[in-house]
Chain A
């Protein structure tokens, strides 16, 4: 009941005196004063697009009623008891409604959806969160220093665990000149929290982002999510109008200059691989925002910041890889029972990573315009030859900027391809991933002809001479450094600087004691492969580099590993 109360109506703090934003405040501080206007804008544009065509309007209403009835009948919860009657009545009446009644019904549905999606931004919650959350996390990580963590001026613990890379000065300049859209890789539900922290320590402004409604079931997380500008995305809703509301909401926010964040992978990478096929809906909203502004003669640039979030240890690794390996995992979109929802796993996770060097690296890649072009230090778009070009030219038709959804969908598709390339190039390979790859490759070599699932059953059955592992780690590292020199990938400092022995020890230490079973362990002078599914998860980050770091005698196994990524 309490859960539902918070998830349906997130708690807001009472306002005694409204906060008046200062000119130096980030754009999100203006959000509350504009929220009503933004919601109206979304509702009016969607209703306007449907109202001129009765058949389109009728299809939209039927689609909404059909999908909502199906969802609620399946859910059988309090929401179903409240709303099922409304939709059943609606589907019976649609055909009998006159034009005005249909338009009114559409307006009511879209308006409800837009209000449900729209977030809130409370500067008081923001100030509290930026002060308290890093210290709270630091306190959990190091209980002995819990008290001092709240008085220390800067959380040393967090800065040791979380490293931020990229041209921060450039991003700081751009944030005052246009709308930034951060588009990170997605591995964990911790991503949005970690990224918010990375923005904070980098002096970058807070961003608006869509959070799955499942994250709002925890009342504390729901409170922070809701009051820090997050908009709610209910992935159970299949209604076409709802998708239109979501993308248009995102578009309107970007049009108005709010910095945004969305995960183009759509959901956490179940396999652990770097995302290649991206969902284009929200990316398209940013491209359309640029176009709409140009048509209205608003010269506000939109820049995308490809970002990689790289963990040596992933909070939900076991659930994610299990999901990927089962048929259910192919379709299961929302997981409510993973490690993210278990506070003891959080504590175990943070305690594990605090003592380790380089546990998480956020890398902000070079920003690009909506058409995949690099930009210079002032934000001007550059051609491949390095010439300044006007991005407005892309949306012109014989000299005039025009809105064209089909054209912009084609641009978005191209942008998705560029982002996937950037992800690969800007991924920072971590100790656990490199070690897991070398060990998993041995497993493949030791089991020729065996399929993936056969290998997953080989728990603690294969071991490798430690000296062989050291040699292979050294060779793999040398090849990765050569790839890094060519700009094809990046490696963490631990991978770059530590000896193969230290690298192996670091990875084993990360795995040991956090996951319910360790991925690998030492057994005298041999390395025992304990949990092949965990090894698979961590090594999957490296599938696209497998053949580039293999010896001739390892090539067959490397190609087999690379083939895992073909349909990702």
Chain B
């Protein structure tokens, strides 16, 4: 039975999801702020009202637009709708998740967060890939698998909705750090230590906020990071490399050509961690580097001089 799928946001991810759903022979409407030319099989729309008759809606927009889009969706959706977002960001100093924003601004309750090593090109072209869906509602999992899953996309599920979103957002930042380190030519062993300890750092913060460690060690965290380090050419890696080549943060982001949510998340995450009494050596040092308050050499020195203890 064909599903009525809606996609909000016509960026890379929005178009890729729409293409994947069309490939599964579903009826797809893609909403964007301005008119776009899309393949004939995808119905474009600039009226949010067209989401009203959708069974499943994907919100594929950066976190900074999530509140205003949720507000607009709130005018047309109700308890019948299932909404899943693919944002890698968190909002504000309190690290509010996108599902929380959707919960506050819309009447929809059956929500989910799709994350993991999923990149738009692979999704659009149907190359074998995998993802993790955080939701407490089995029917959301079932419908997302029906809409875009299949033999070329394995969608695992977890009820740790918070963990998926925290892992996804913080791995984005860690990706920038590792790309920076790679570009500066650090040894593979140094990179491995940086990646592993970085994962521990963000996982501790996640656990303190209520997420599960397993989620960070799964597709949403470690899986996503492996894809990034292996070179899936995501925007975060491009920003990291540009920074390592000496670019200012703003120009590095501009060079990447896409909005990078991880940088914005990092500062708020560090403040939140300190409030919780947690240390953030890697994140703190990198924020200093990216804002040019510390040289890479000093950063490395600062990290290596730290007291070492049990893993």
Contact B137 A383, beta carbon cutoff 8 Å: no
How far is B71's CA from A384's CA once the two chains are assembled, in angstroms? Answer: 9
Cβ of A404 to closest chain B Cβ, rounded Å? 7
Is B79 at the interface (CB under 8 A from chain A)?
yes
Count residues of chain A with CB under 8 A from any CB of chain B.
26
Cβ of A104 to closest chain B Cβ, rounded Å? 35
- Kindly supply a per-residue 1/0 record for chain A positions 386-404, scoring 1 wherever the CB is within 8 Å of any chain B CB and 0 otherwise: 0101111111111100001
Query: Which B residues are CB-close (under 8 A) to A399?
Result: 80
Query: Which A residues are CB-close (under 8 A) to B107?
Result: 371, 373, 381, 383-384, 387, 389
Contact B74 A383, beta carbon cutoff 8 Å: yes
A409 to B, closest residue via Cβ = B136
- Kindly supply a per-residue 1/0 record for chain A positions 403-437, scoring 1 wherever the CB is within 8 Å of any chain B CB and 0 otherwise: 01011001101100000000000000000000000
Near A by CB (< 8 A), chain B positions 64-109 give 71, 74-75, 78-80, 103-107, 109
Near A by CB (< 8 A), chain B positions 259-283 give none
Contact A394 B106, beta carbon cutoff 8 Å: no
Interface residues of chain A: helix, strand, loop or mixed (majority): mixed
Cβ of A561 to closest chain B Cβ, rounded Å? 16
Cβ of A78 to closest chain B Cβ, rounded Å? 45
How far is B107's CA from A404's CA once the two chains are assembled, in angstroms? Answer: 19
Contact A393 B55, beta carbon cutoff 8 Å: no
A559 to B, closest residue via Cβ = B275
Is B139 at the interface (CB under 8 A from chain A)?
yes
A393 touching B74 in the complex, CB below 8 Å, given contacts A407-B138, A410-B136: no
How far is B106's CA from A381's CA once the two chains are assembled, in angstroms? Answer: 13
Near B by CB (< 8 A), chain A positions 275-295 give none
Contact A413 B136, beta carbon cutoff 8 Å: yes
Contact B75 A387, beta carbon cutoff 8 Å: yes
A406 touching B79 in the complex, CB below 8 Å, given contacts A384-B105, A394-B109: no
Is A450 at the interface (CB under 8 A from chain B)?
no
Interface residues of chain B: helix, strand, loop or mixed (majority): loop
A415 to B, closest residue via Cβ = B109
A393 touching B138 in the complex, CB below 8 Å, given contacts A371-B109, A383-B107, A384-B106: no
Contact B79 A393, beta carbon cutoff 8 Å: yes
Cβ of A466 to closest chain B Cβ, rounded Å? 35
Cβ of B172 to closest chain A Cβ, rounded Å? 27
Query: Which A residues are CB-close (under 8 A) to B105?
Result: 384-385
How far is B71's CA from A218's CA once the two chains are assembled, in angstroms? Answer: 55
Q: Which of A372, A389, A406, A413 makes the CB contact (< 8 A) with B78?
A: A389
A398 touching B55 in the complex, CB below 8 Å, given contacts A384-B104, A407-B139: yes
A371 touching B137 in the complex, CB below 8 Å, given contacts A384-B106, A384-B107, A398-B55: no
Query: Which A residues are CB-close (under 8 A) to B136?
Result: 410, 413
How far is B108's CA from A373's CA once the two chains are assembled, in angstroms? Answer: 10
Contact A391 B106, beta carbon cutoff 8 Å: no
Contact A406 B138, beta carbon cutoff 8 Å: yes
Near A by CB (< 8 A), chain B positions 217-236 give none
How far is B109's CA from A241's CA once the two chains are assembled, in angstroms? Answer: 30
Q: Which of A385, A394, A398, A413 makes the CB contact (< 8 A) with B79?
A: A394
How far is B78's CA from A392's CA once the two chains are assembled, in angstroms? Answer: 10
The residue in B71, B78, B104, B139 that gathers the most chain A C-beta atoms within 10 A of its C-beta is B78
How far is B107's CA from A391's CA once the two chains are assembled, in angstroms? Answer: 10
Contact A410 B137, beta carbon cutoff 8 Å: yes
A391 touching B79 in the complex, CB below 8 Å, given contacts A373-B107, A384-B107: yes
Near A by CB (< 8 A), chain B positions 98-147 give 103-107, 109-110, 136-139
Contact A404 B139, beta carbon cutoff 8 Å: yes
Query: Which A residues are CB-close (under 8 A) to B103?
Result: 414
Contact B79 A389, beta carbon cutoff 8 Å: yes
Query: Which B residues are CB-close (under 8 A) to A413?
Result: 136
How far is B86's CA from A422's CA once the two chains are assembled, in angstroms? Answer: 30
The residue in A383, A387, A404, A414 that gathers the most chain B C-beta atoms within 10 A of its C-beta is A383
How far is B109's CA from A413's CA once the two chains are assembled, in angstroms? Answer: 11
Selected A-B contacts with CB under 8 Å, 18 pairs: A371-B109, A373-B107, A383-B78, A383-B106, A383-B107, A385-B71, A385-B74, A385-B75, A387-B78, A389-B107, A392-B79, A393-B78, A393-B80, A394-B80, A394-B110, A396-B80, A397-B139, A407-B138
List 5 tightest A-B contacts by C-beta distance, closest first.
A394-B79, A393-B79, A410-B136, A383-B107, A393-B80
Question: B-contacting residues of A (Cβ < 8 Å)?
Answer: 371-373, 381, 383-385, 387, 389-399, 404, 406-407, 410-411, 413-414
Given contacts A387-B107, A394-B110, A398-B1, list 19 more A-B pairs with CB under 8 A: A371-B79, A371-B107, A372-B109, A383-B74, A383-B78, A384-B74, A385-B74, A385-B75, A391-B79, A392-B79, A393-B78, A394-B80, A397-B139, A398-B55, A399-B80, A404-B138, A407-B137, A411-B109, A414-B103
